[in-house]
Amino acid sequence: MKRNLLSFALLAGLSASVFSCSKDDTTSAPVIPPSDGDTAYVLNGIISTEAGSVAGNSVFLDFSTATQTPIARTSWDLGFYTGNDFRVIINNTTGATAKALTKTDITAVTTADTTGFKTTLQLGMGLGTFSIVDNVEGNLDSTVIAQISATEANNYVYIIRPTNGSASAEKDWYKVKITRSGSDYQLQYAKLSETTIKTITISKDANYNFKYVSFDNNAIASVEPAKAAWDLEWTYTTYKSGTIPYPFADFVYINNQAGVTAAELVYANADARNTAYTNYTDSSIASTTFSNSKTAIADKWRVASAPPGSGLVVGVRTDRFYVIKDAAGNVYKLKFISFITQDGGTRGKPKVEFKLVKKGS
């Protein structure tokens, strides 16, 4: 009997100890430090056999985890802003264009409403105007599609040409109408000649800059990673040349919507750049002027063509590097290494070097 009582007491004490430890033990997830960087990181813009100058992927790069997310440029058609405003973007990476009609009833829209639009909505080869594309600097107050009104009758039907020129293969045109339903977006859409209207509700998600819709898949599309999980986007896009919009390959955006900023530092030559890059440390940050423009890097890092007499050399511009501050306060220095045959690279697969300068607090 003593042995049984002793055993029972020991078991009771052990159980109490186990449960006590379980109750008080609050194990937190380990904090993963930001990546130190990479000296030869290749972005994968190529999907299949397409030419590198029209690489099929947009590539999102996150410095702190040293990871990239390649996404097919044709995987989406409309992007719905998740911030306070109700703004919708068209796909700048496929050369999409759009124009508003005077009608508000999508069921009343037919091909007759688009007479002359084939020319109006053309982009590239010297054609197109800024009125048919979203603001090329990424300003959301100047999108082709007007801010979505809470008053249904104030929202007009738009004609969307999803692709243009060499950006992507031609696709069917669509008619769309977007309204608000509480804090959600309500999208009505159909191919131009169709009478059956499809409807999708898009809910805002504060973890992302935009939520996307694919006409082809009739569904929400996964495009951008969560806004805290990327810093740069390398892509083909619609930008500007003089007074007209123009398709650009090898273009770089920063994630300014999430608080990423960037600085461009230019030197006399490659040797001076390399020395400055090596010597750029934590103490250099205070004297660096950062920009929150989405196009802070843009096409300034490379030369894709060099007309005779221009003095330009095709390839990465070796007289400059960039400093990137992410939303967590981590600061990285970034140097482009190659992107085209002339500089030893592969078009559609640019190579970069980035190094951690300062860890965020």
pLDDT digits (tens, 9 = 90+) for 269-290: 999 999 999 999 999 999 999 9
Average pLDDT, the chain: 92
pLDDT tens digits, one per residue of 180-196:
999 999 999 999 999 99
Write down the domain spans for the chain: 37-72+227-358, 77-218
pLDDT tens digits, one per residue of 131-148:
999 999 999 999 999 999
Confidence category of residue 92, pLDDT binned at 50, 70, 90: very high
* 38: exposed, middle or buried (Cβ count in 10 Å: 0-12, 13-18, 19+): middle
Strands 302-303 and 315-316: antiparallel
pLDDT tens digits, one per residue of 100-122:
999 999 999 999 999 999 999 99
Instruction: Report how far residue 133's alpha carbon sits from residue 244's, in angstroms, rounded to the nearest whole number.
Output: 10
The predicted structure's pLDDT at residue 29: 64
DSSP alpha helix (H) spans, the chain: 2-24, 117-120, 270-279
Q: What is the DSSP string of 49-85?
A: S--GGG-SEEEEEETTTTEEEEEEGGG-SEEEE-SSS
Instruction: Report how far residue 316's alpha carbon sits from residue 211's, in angstroms, rounded to the nearest whole number.
Output: 33
> How many percent of the chain have pLDDT more than 70?
91
| 247-286 burial: b if 16+ Cβ within 10 Å, else e | bbbbbbbbbbbbebbbbbbebeeeeebeebbeebeeebbe
- pLDDT higher than threshold 70 for residue 6: no
Instruction: Report how far residue 232's alpha carbon sits from residue 216's, in angstroms, rounded to the nearest whole number.
Output: 27
Q: What is the pTM of this model?
A: 0.90
Among 7-16, 169-178, 199-208, name the one with the lowest average pLDDT: 7-16
User: Pick the residue with more confidence: 312 or 5?
Assistant: 312
Please report, as a single letter, which amino acid is at residue 22. S
Q: Across residues 239-254, what is the average pLDDT?
A: 96
- pLDDT higher than threshold 80 for residue 16: no
The predicted structure's pLDDT at residue 28: 62
- pLDDT higher than threshold 70 for residue 23: no
Confidence category of residue 355, pLDDT binned at 50, 70, 90: very high
- pLDDT higher than threshold 60 for residue 1: no
Residue 45: CB atoms within 10 A of its CB come to 27
Residues belonging to the chain: 361
